[in-house]
Structure formats: C-alpha cells, structure tokens
C-alpha cells in the first residue's frame, strides 16, 4: 500500500503492515465525540443511543430467567449460523407490521444490523465499486463500504427522501464513466441522519430504477416501527422480493445491548450470508436470541414499542419547539419517527469549525460532514433527541443558540472587513466535486 494510504502513524510499529482496506477505517466524528460528550455536564445531542431506561427491567430479567430455566446449557452453547429457528419465525411477525411477507428460511440473524451491513459488503463489494446512497447517509455504513474500498456516491434528498430523478442522473453519469454500481443503500423510514421518510410513490419508483439498471437495493430499516403520528409507508421489500436485501434490528425497539439484528435476503444470497456469518462469528449469540424470543413470546412487545414511540415523540416535540423559540433563523426537518433532526445553518456558518465552541458551551452535536464521504455537509448538523430528557434537550438547544448567535454576531461584525473578513469569505460553503465521477 502507498505511504499516503496507510492508516495509523509512526507511533504504530505496524504502520507499514496494514492491508489497503484498513485505510478506510478512520475514526468518525461521531466516535471522537462520544468521549467528549460523555462528560456529565455536556448535553449531548450527538449520539444515537436508544433510551433503554424506558424498557422495564423486569421484562428483561424475566425473559433471561425463563431462558435459563427452560433451556439450561443450550442457551450458553454455540448455535446455528443462520439463527435460532423460533426467533426467525417471530421476526416474520415483526416484519409483517411493515407489510413484509416472507419465509423464515430467508432470514439470517446477525450481530446487530451493523454486522449484516458488513456481511453484505463482504459478499458484494470489490475495490473501486460504487455504492449509491442518500446524501447524507449513515456514518458507520459508509465506514464499512469504504473499508471494502468502495466509493460512496450520494444522491440528494428532499423532505420526501431520495430524489428519483437525481438517482437516474447519477446512475447515467456513473455508467458513462465506466463505474460498477453494486448496491443502492437506503434508509427509507425516519432517515439517519436526515429524519425524512421516503414516500410510497418514490419507493416504487426507486425500486423500478434499480431493477431497470440491475442494482441490488439494500434497505436498512432500524427505525420504521418508531413512528409518531402515522406509520411509515410499507417497506420496499414488501413489493420486491428478488432485488432487495432488507435489514432489521432489535436495537431500537428493544435494546442494542443484545446485539441482535437480521437480514432478509433473496434465497441464493441468503445461503452466502449464512456462510459469511459462520466465517465471521460461527453463530450469533444464542443467549441473546433466546432471550429476545422469550420476550417476544411472553411480553406485550407491541405495547412496549408504543411506549418508546411516546417517549421519542415527546422529545422530538421538545426539540422542535426549543428550536422554534431559540433559533428561528435555522431550518430543520420535522421527523415523523426515529431519533434525528437535520438542521441547516445559515451561511456561512461551518458546523465542523463551530463544534469546539459548542462543546465549550457544554452542548454537543454531530457536524453534517460526518454523514458525507465527500466533504459536503458543512452547513448542517444532526441533532439527536432520543437519549436526553425534554429538559436537557431544551437546555441543549438554548446553549446551541448561544453558540450560533455568537458566531453570527462575530460574522456580522467582521464580514467584509480586513483580513478576518476575507478569511471568512473563504469559509463560504461550496459543494465539493463529487467523489465519484
């Protein structure tokens, strides 16, 4: 690998030994932020941690207890590389809530949907391939795509999700440049980080475009059941069986600590996924799967999802009303579910440059640049409302307003005058060239 591509640095004695693909493994802004934002005095609107305290502990304790009583040592043993059969059947019930009819034989249980992303990437991506995704997109999916040396091409979105016309243009441009497009990665419902939902008409149109161009759709749906007022449209997989790999997870509707998610794949791909799963982890955690299976069989899990919805709805409302009160000059999305609000700052504010000042004011957010692979997003920030209480959210937004007002005052004072004014002129946000041409 070339000097420039090497991960790590000279303090690492194995600096020159890494495989080329390790160059894609760079610490994301989100990751670096967790360390700072975990200080108790900082209100973190940065991370996407589910509010697991809303899950009554006795439900979990009871399920764990029953698993040990009923299954004994089996619960602590290796299991099947595809997952526990009873849980795969129950996963069908969960997916049916979003219109998916499937066979338990096509479900592969994974160590969180994150691991399913890794396995799908391992199966499909060669160096130089292209993954099309929304712009912005989920950070850690892009880290995986990059680690397989694929390029991510971002298709713009609006309040109804990915724009089909733009998708067509991107595909045409990529094909004209001789690029191989392997996956269309999408988070159609309550998008991370944009908070928007792909409309039903666009779901159908995007599926048709993918089919026309022979592109496999990777539908990542961790938030679909966490709607506030009305459900998201049915999953894309509900109308297209052969061209979609669907990913689900128990991380947001139960708890991420179980590290249990799944992939529902076309039959031939499913076989490869099981082999890849076995090669990576032998089998996903038997204990976690059996506890979840017991929980789904005995607890009112749909009511628990309702409880989560209520918690997140209240927090979203707290965030939007605080934004309206303290930062009316900003624009933001109004999510009907999930965890995130995507905020657009007035020009020429730079979300990345502003972050240290925000942390100094004891509020953390994620700069928009984290969600693009091409330097875009300087004018955006992602605010998470999932974990902090409504009071903390209001406090966090007040602090953010202090930072933003301070930055704007500074710009107004110096704009266009002298050296600082000229320097500020250069921070104006302009779209960088796409990373894939």
Ligand X SMILES: Cc1ncc(COP(=O)(O)O)c(C=O)c1O
Going by C-beta distance under 8 Å and a sequence separation of 6 or more, which residues neighbour residue 123?
269, 272, 273, 276
Of 259 and 394, nearer to ligand X (C-beta) is: 259
Whole-number Cα distances in Å, 86 to 80, 105, 286: 12, 11, 12
- 407's tokens: 């930055």
- CB of residue 418 to ligand X, shortest distance in Å: 44
Report, in Å, the least distance between residue 142 CB and ligand X.
11
Distance in Å, CB of 191 to ligand X, minimum: 8
Residue 261 C-beta: closest distance to ligand X, Å: 4
> Which residue reads 């000229």 in tokens?
422
Q: How far is the CB of 248 from ligand X (least distance, A)?
A: 8
260 or 350: whose CB is closer to ligand X?
260
Minimum Å distance from CB 245 to ligand X?
13
Q: Between 326 and 339, whose beta carbon lies closer to ligand X?
A: 339
Of 186 and 369, nearer to ligand X (C-beta) is 186
Burial class (CB in 10 A: 0-12, 13-18, 19+), 31: middle
Q: For residue 184, which of 193, 176, 174, 194 has the smallest C-alpha distance?
A: 174
- Cβ proximity to ligand X, 222 vs 367, nearer residue: 222
Residues 340, 381 contacting (CB under 8 angstroms): no
Closer to ligand X by Cβ: residue 82 or 192: 192
Q: Which residue has the tokens 């980080």?
A: 193
Nearer to ligand X, 220 or 361 (CB): 220
Cβ closer to ligand X: 192 or 238? 192
Shortest Cβ 196–ligand X spacing (Å): 13
CB atoms within 10 A of CB 82: 24
> CA-CA distance, 394 to 316, in Å (whole number)?
11
Q: Work out how close the CB of 135 gets to ligand X at its nearest, in angstroms, rounded to a whole number.
A: 14
In angstroms, what is the minimal distance from the CB of 84 to ligand X? 17
**What's the closest the beta carbon of residue 224 comes to ligand X, in angstroms?**
11
Per CB under 6 A, residues contacting ligand X are 48, 112-114, 138, 187, 192, 220, 222, 249, 251, 256, 261
Q: Which is nearer to ligand X, 224 or 233 (CB)?
A: 224
In whole angstroms, the minimum distance from the beta carbon of 48 to ligand X comes to 5
Residue 356: is it exposed, middle or buried by C-beta count within 10 angstroms (0-12/13-18/19+)? exposed
> Which C-beta is closer to ligand X: that of 102 or that of 117?
117
Which lies closer to ligand X via its Cβ, residue 109 or residue 359?
Answer: 109
Q: Which residue is nearest to ligand X (CB)?
A: 112
């Amino acid at each position: 690998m070339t000097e420039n591509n090497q991960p790590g640095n000279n303090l690492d004695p194995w600096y020159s030994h890494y495989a080329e693909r390790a160059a894609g493994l760079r610490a994301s802004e989100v990751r670096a932020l967790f360390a700072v934002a975990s200080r108790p005095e900082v209100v973190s609107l940065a991370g996407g941690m589910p509010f697991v305290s809303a899950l009554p502990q006795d439900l979990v304790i009871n399920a764990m207890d029953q698993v040990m009583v009923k299954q004994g040592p089996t619960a602590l043993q290796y299991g099947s590389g595809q997952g526990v059969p009873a849980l795969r059947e129950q996963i069908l019930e969960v997916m049916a809530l979003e219109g998916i009819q499937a066979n338990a034989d096509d479900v592969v249980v994974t160590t969180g949907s994150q691991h399913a992303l890794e396995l799908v990437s391992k199966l499909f991506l060669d160096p130089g391939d292209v993954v099309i995704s929304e712009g912005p997109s989920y950070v850690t999916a892009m880290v995986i795509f990059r680690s397989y040396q694929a390029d991510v091409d971002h298709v713009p979105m609006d309040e109804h999700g990915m724009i089909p016309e733009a998708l067509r243009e991107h595909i045409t441009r990529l094909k004209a440049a001789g690029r191989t497009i392997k996956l269309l990665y999408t988070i159609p419902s309550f998008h991370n980080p944009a908070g928007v939902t792909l409309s039903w008409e666009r779901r159908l149109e995007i599926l048709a475009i993918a089919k026309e161009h022979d592109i496999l759709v990777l539908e990542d749906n961790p938030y679909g059941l966490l709607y506030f007022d009305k459900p998201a449209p049915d999953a894309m997989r509900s109308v297209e069986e052969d061209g979609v790999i669907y990913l689900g997870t128990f991380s947001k509707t139960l708890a991420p600590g179980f590290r249990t998610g799944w992939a529902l794949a076309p039959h031939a791909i499913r076989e490869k996924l099981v082999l890849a799963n076995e090669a990576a982890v032998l089998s996903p955690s038997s204990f976690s799967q059996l506890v979840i299976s017991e929980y789904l069989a005995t607890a009112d899990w749909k009511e628990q999802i309702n409880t989560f919805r209520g918690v997140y709805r209240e927090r979203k409302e707290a965030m939007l009303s605080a934004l309206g009160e303290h930062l009316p000059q900003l624009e933001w999305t109004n999510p009907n579910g999930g965890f995130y609000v995507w905020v657009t700052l007035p020009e020429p504010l730079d979300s990345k440059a502003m972050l240290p000042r925000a942390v100094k004011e004891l509020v953390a957010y994620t700069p928009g640049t984290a969600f693009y692979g091409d330097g875009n997003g300087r004018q955006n920030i992602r605010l998470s409302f999932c974990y902090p209480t409504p009071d903390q959210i209001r406090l966090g937004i007040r602090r953010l307003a202090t930072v933003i007002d301070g930055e704007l005052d500074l710009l107004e004072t110096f704009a266009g005058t002298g050296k600082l004014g000229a320097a500020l002129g250069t921070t104006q946000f302009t779209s960088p060239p796409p990373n894939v041409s």
